[in-house]
Amino acid sequence: MVLVKEIYDKKEMFENKEILVKGWVRNNRAQKEFGFIDFHDGSFFNGVQVVYESELENFKDIQKIRVGSSISIKGILVLTPNAKQPFEIKASEVVLLGGSKEDYPIQPKRHTREFLREVAHLRSRTNLFQAVFRLRSVAAHAIHTFFQEKGFVYTHSPIITGNDGEGAGQMFNVTTLPLKDIPKDKDGKVYYEDDFFGKEAHLTVTGQLEGEAFAMAFRNIYTFGPTFRAENSNTQRHASEFWMIEPEMAFADINDNMDMAEEMVKYVIKYVFDKLPEEMDFFNKFVDTKLKDRLENVLSKKFERITHEEAVNILLKANKKWNVLPKQGEDLSTEHERYLTEEHFDCPVFVTDWPKDIKAFYMKLNSDGKTVAAMDLLVPGSGELIGGSQREEDEERLIERMNQMNVPVESLDWYVDLRRYGGCVHSGFGLGFERLIMYLTGVENIRDVIPFPRTPKNLEF
Ligand code: 4AD
Ligand code: MG
């Protein structure tokens, strides 16, 4: 048996030879004396056209094979240099392996993305989702390759945790307490001593804190795993479960951090262009016609770097009607991010030196006492792709920030330890993997780059 991908790679080798392939029917156009099957086996973005003729003893049955069925085909590979497709299979045997019912939802026509989300268990059989999810796989490999080649240690941070790593309170609880009869003390507080871990437990929102511990041992590390946020925001860019890549580097400051982030993003863009030309052409044709230009352009450009204060000044000078007025000292909203990266600069932009009160407790306080050494990378389409910072390495200042921000110092004492025993300047960032896939494909909704997305009030599959 051969894979369609192998035929594309070595078509001359298979020319006029008999081959056996197994896969699925995307379309079956039966005519009187012959028919065509649009055949895909999942190994490659493109499929193969199979031609069958009335001489075949089960010709009548083949004509009736429905879209979605699995089949096996024996036949001769014929090169067709003058046709749209480079070759076709002239079938000598077509066997139905698994039939498909008449109500198969993925018919050979345009379906809306909304509809396809409802059949997420079948949507990966369409061109769009074949392209998106293969790219997702390849991009993951690109990231591992990038960091492994630099000697970074891949660190598995825990998924169940006792800490709120961002101090933002957006965590899912993990418990085995009986929900109908939760044990409480006399003040009405949940009695966590009875719970599985004997304390409050959550799904992690970040692997950063554990990553910092490993960076203090291995110097350069990265995590790549699932993270969870119980954030009730129903937007195109937020998911309740998403994958994050979090490198952490000892002896690296905020500028080293941005250099690394920029190099990584460019590496992944190059990698997918190189490995997935068919998919990238498809996205450019059917999803976003400016995609390839935009990404190619980014490769040759240095990302912009501006401070938060400068960003707000740019927004204030812009001739725009804002829903939320930009203001010094305050967070940027989606429309502000979009304006900066899509209109003003038209390229990725790092925004640095954020007001300390809107950022996490672990970020390094700048000498102005007002801002922190944080950086967000904004990109067209996905908005905030990366969030990172230099970490506060000073024990006292860290504890002070934790107290000011109501982050429990006792339960994070181990984290403070990292400042007590050989602490050093260190930095890291978090890349939202889905936001990267959106950026690389032009797909606008995060629900369409996650195989089985989890968002508020949605837990199918
Ligand atoms: O900016 P965030 O919250 O930063 C952290 O979690 C840090 N601990 C990272 C670090 O310094 N090691 O999240 C990082 C990135 C965001 O820039 C965004 O791309 C993505 O994670 N992200 C989400 N992606 C999808 N859905 C959500 N709800 C997301 N929240 C954050
Ligand atoms: Mg952020």
Residue 437 Cβ < 6 Å to ligand 1: no
Structure tokens at 129: 């989702």
CB atoms within 10 A of CB 16: 9
User: What pLDDT, on the 0 to 100 scale, is given for residue 169?
Assistant: 84
CA 1 to chain centre: 33
Q: Which residue is listed with tokens 């008999």?
A: 18
- Ligand 1 nearest-atom number relative to CA 238: 26
Average pLDDT over residues 191-197: 96
In short, whether 28's Cβ falls inside 6 Å of ligand 1 is: no
- Regarding the beta carbon of 210 and ligand 1, being less than 6 Å apart is answered no
Q: What is the pairing mode between strands 383-390 and 349-355?
A: unpaired
Task: Quickly tell me which residue has 């001359």 as its tokens.
Answer: 12
Which 8-state DSSP code applies to residue 102? Answer: T
Side chain identity at residue 351, one-letter code: V
pLDDT tens for 134-191 read 999 999 999 999 999 999 999 999 999 999 999 888 999 999 999 999 999 999 999 9
Mean pLDDT of 95-101: 98
Distance CA(281)–CA(292), nearest Å, equals 8
Give me 386's structure tokens: 């990366």
Amino acid at the residue 132: V
For 356-379, write each residue's pLDDT tens digit: 999 999 999 999 999 999 999 999
pLDDT of res. 380: 92
What residue owns the CA closest to ligand 1's atom 20? Answer: 432
In this structure, the residue with its CA closest to atom 25 of ligand 1 is: 238
Q: Tell me what pLDDT residue 382 has.
A: 87
Tokens of 229: 């946020």
- The Cα–Cα gap between 220 and 206 comes to 17
Closest to 393 in 3D by CA, of 225, 250, 247? 250
Average pLDDT on 53-68 reads 98
| Helix residue spans in 124-165 (DSSP H) | 127-149
Atom of ligand 1 nearest to the CA of 248: 12
**CA distances (Å), origin 417, targets 52, 180, 217, 361:** 71, 39, 13, 16
Instruction: Give the pLDDT confidence score for residue 220 in this predicted structure.
Output: 98
| CA atoms of 383 and 235, how far apart (whole Å) | 12
Q: What are the beta bridge partners of residue 386?
A: 377, 431
Cβ atoms of 141 and 154 within 8 Å: the answer is no
What local confidence, expressed as pLDDT, does residue 157 receive?
A: 98
Task: Please work out whether the CB of residue 351 comes within 6 Å of at least one atom of ligand 1.
Answer: no
Establish whether residue 453 lines the binding site of ligand 1, counting it when its CB lies within 6 angstroms of any ligand atom.
no
Give every CB contact of residue 427 below 8 A, 6+ residues apart in sequence: 248, 249, 252, 253, 254, 256, 257, 373, 388, 389, 390, 391
CA dihedral for 238, 243, 248, 253, sign (positive or negative) = negative
Q: Name the closest ligand to CA 248.
A: 1
**Angle value at C-alpha 350, between 424 and 382, nearest 5 degrees:** 120
For strands 48-53 and 87-98, give the pairing: parallel
Average pLDDT over the chain, rounded to an integer: 97
365: its two tokens: 């306080």
Specify the pLDDT at position 132. 98
C-beta neighbour count of 101 within 10 angstroms = 8
| CA of residue 40 to ligand 1 center, whole Å | 36
Closest C-alpha residue for ligand 1 atom 22:
432
**Helix axes of 277-286 and 291-299: crossing angle, nearest 10 degrees:** 130
Whose Cα sits closest to atom 21 in ligand 1? Answer: 432
**pLDDT greater than 90 at residue 340:** yes
Candidates 284, 293, 290; CA nearest to 131 is 284
**192 C-beta neighbours (distance < 10 Å), count:** 17
Query: What pLDDT sits at residue 42?
Result: 98
**Cα separations in angstroms, 302 against 263, 379, 439:** 10, 13, 17
Measured distance CA(416)–CA(295) in Å, rounded: 41
Give the C-alpha separation, 286 to 288, whole Å: 6
Measure the CA–CA gap between 278 and 69, rounded to whole angstroms: 25
Residue range 202-229: average pLDDT?
Answer: 98
Q: What H or E segment, with its residue span, contains residue 223?
A: strand 220-228
pLDDT at 390 exceeding the cut of 90: yes
The pLDDT assigned to 212 comes to 98
Confidence of residue 93 (pLDDT cuts 50, 70, 90): very high
Tell me, what DSSP letter sits at residue 180? G
Residues near ligand 2 ion, CB 5 Å cutoff = 387
pLDDT of residue 168: 86
Q: Is 412 exposed, middle or buried (0-12, 13-18, 19+ CB in 10 A)?
A: buried
Strands 34-40, 153-154: parallel, antiparallel or unpaired by DSSP? unpaired
Read off the pTM: 0.97
CA angle 103, 105, 109 (to 5 degrees): 115
388 lines ligand 1 (CB under 6 A): yes
Query: Hey, what are 118's tokens?
Result: 């409802």
Q: Is 454 exposed, middle or buried (0-12, 13-18, 19+ CB in 10 A)?
A: middle
Percent of the chain with pLDDT over 70: 100
